Amino acid sequence: MRIGYRIALLAVAFPCLMLSSVSGRADQLSDAQSFLRMVIDEGVQALTPKTLAADKRRELLLAFLYKFADTPNVQQRIIGRYWDRATAEQRTAYLKLLDEYVVLSYEDDFKNFGADEHIDIQNAEAIDGKIVVHSLDIDPLDPPPSRVDWVLVTGPKGFKVTDALVDGVSLIATLSEDFQSILRNNGGKIDGLLDVMRAKIAQLKTTKN
Amino acid sequence: MNDPVQHDGQTLMSLPRQGTCGLLAPLFLAASLLAGCATPPTDPEDRKDFDAINDPLEPTNRFIFGFNQTLDHGFIRPIALAYRGVVPEQGRLAIHNVVTNLREPWIFANDVLQGEIGRAGDTLGRFVINSTIGIAGIFDVAGSNTFNMPYHDNDAGITLAKWGIGSGPYLVLPILGPSNPRDAVGIGLEYFLDPVDLYLSHHNFDHHHDLNWAVWTRTGVEALDTRTNLLDTLDNIERTSLDYYSALRSISRQRRDDEIHYRAPVGSGVTSQQDAPRSAKAPQVATGDAK
């Protein structure tokens, strides 16, 4: 009798739980799409005006990245296991140089964002505990559209962008292979990477002036 | 935002094949003799990285990469810049459409070999429509809204991948750039079997002159078109990367993987290999440390 009662309870509860779970996941995916819409709108509005001074664009871009990107995790993933080998001073120097490097490398992508270019957000799906929001970067003057897949993680303060894949190419995987190659070729020494980063930043500044 | 790697279905891996292979063999051999294989590290973590990167020929590859860079900066890139500067955009688009149209028979063959009959039909339709209504391929009429048959690329390397053959280690080919043994075999197959080149090199219209010059011209124009389309992309990667070789290795592999597996949603307007729903191939999501 007691067993029969439990089975009956489960028979009722299980579909309810399943429906609730599916509904919760759908809500989360919908929230992720809304979050990304907000990020893109804010990014386009704040960072793409052609009249923006270079220094101001860099300052805004850095603030934008810290606000919406999964910053500490991404910064560590770029140098992978070498993060654990770095001293506190080396980590501080690396993070400062990385900020400067990223801003100098990507500011032109925002500066050159086309007047009629727009990001069309499509579906979202959960993959490996993360949420991937698919979108198309459509520029009528530069067809065909590029696929941009945004990988989001959920943290205590809501969603954060942890990677972006353009036509299947991951930004973080590419940076990671680039940076870790320098580390391997310098015998795993963080100072070797820092020297190369300083030289690259100086070069990027020179080419922009 | 600019697409970092792809332009209208052309990628780093889609450089022309015809005519150049005969030149490449001695260059590759010379490079192999001058350089060599990387020594696998003894440290377990370093060894794990070494295996994951799968570039045991790195010293040789870097040597060839350096050769390619010298050739590109001194010769190929300046020509591409001049071409872009002199020929108006509409003219370059027409030339691009013609060389793309000439690839369709080879794409058709690979569609069939992969059992993609629907796509093969589209490719055949594109070739017929663009060769006739499109005036020898100058206009991509088939890709317009009227016919709605967008271009998709395909090659023997993808066919071999679909047949389950692994890529093997990373390889930098002289002139052609980033590749792997499977794709190198694919390039070789195309060299011998591309229907348009077979037709041109074996057809003697007036019984006095062969048309090998047309094969070489096609090769040159296709190379110029591809390099021109990649000018901004490669310049940007070279300008911002700490180690251009590694950045290009990572990007070309990811692109190739995407070309093999990605399935574009129907009617999305996205150029891709496949035409099935997006969820059929989700993007690779890093689950932890990248290495």
- Rounded mean pLDDT of B161-170? 96
Q: For residue B126, what pLDDT is reported?
A: 97
Residue B15 amino acid letter: L
- Rounded mean pLDDT of B65-85? 98
Q: For residue B12, what pLDDT is reported?
A: 43
**DSSP characters for B151-204?**
-----HHHHHHHTT----S-EEETTTEEE-HHHHHHHHHHHHH-HHHHHHHH--
Q: For residue B3, what pLDDT is reported?
A: 42
Of the pLDDT bands very low, low, confident and very high (cuts 50, 70, 90), residue B287 is very low
Handedness of CA A37, A40, A43, A46 (dihedral sign): negative
Looking at beta carbons, which residues of chain B come within 8 Å of A153?
Answer: none
- Rounded mean pLDDT of B182-197? 95
Q: Which of the pair, B206 or B68, is modelled with greater confidence?
A: B68
Distances (CA, A) of A53 to A64, A209, B258: 16, 13, 37
Q: Which of the pair, B203 or A116, is modelled with greater confidence?
A: A116
Q: How far is A11 from chain B (nearest CA, A)?
A: 31
Which range, of A64-68, A78-82, A138-142, B201-205, averages the lowest pLDDT?
A: B201-205
Looking at beta carbons, which residues of chain B come within 8 Å of A145?
Answer: 268-270
Contact assignment for A166 to B45 by CB distance below 8 Å: no
Q: For residue B1, what pLDDT is reported?
A: 43
Contact assignment for B283 to A179 by CB distance below 8 Å: no
Distances (CA, A) of B202 to B98, B156, B186, B193: 21, 22, 22, 12
The C-alpha atoms of residue A22 and residue A50 are separated, in whole angstroms, by: 44
- Tell whether the model's pLDDT for residue B281 goes beyond 70: no
- Rounded mean pLDDT of B192-196? 93
The answer to whether A134 and A6 have CB atoms below 8 angstroms apart is no
For β-strands A118-127 and B171-173, DSSP reports them as unpaired
- Considering chain B, what is the average pLDDT of its residues? 83
| For chain B, counts of helices (H) and of strands (E) | 12, 2
Of the pLDDT bands very low, low, confident and very high (cuts 50, 70, 90), residue B275 is very low
The C-alpha atoms of residue A54 and residue B212 are separated, in whole angstroms, by: 53
- Interface residue A153 vs chain B (CB under 8 A): no
Q: For residue B38, what pLDDT is reported?
A: 81
Contact assignment for A181 to B46 by CB distance below 8 Å: no
Of the pLDDT bands very low, low, confident and very high (cuts 50, 70, 90), residue A141 is confident
The model's pLDDT over A62-110, given as tens digits with 9 standing for 90+, comes to 999 999 999 999 999 999 999 999 999 999 999 999 999 999 999 999 9
The C-alpha atoms of residue B2 and residue A46 are separated, in whole angstroms, by: 19
CA angle B91, B96, B100 (to 5 degrees): 150
Does the pTM exceed 0.90?
no
Residue A187 region, left (φ>0) first, then alpha (ψ -120 to 50), else beta?
left
Q: For residue B14, what pLDDT is reported?
A: 39
Q: For residue A12, what pLDDT is reported?
A: 59
The model's pLDDT over A43-57, given as tens digits with 9 standing for 90+, comes to 999 999 999 999 999
The model's pLDDT over B21-72, given as tens digits with 9 standing for 90+, comes to 444 544 555 555 455 788 888 888 889 989 999 999 999 999 999 999 999 9
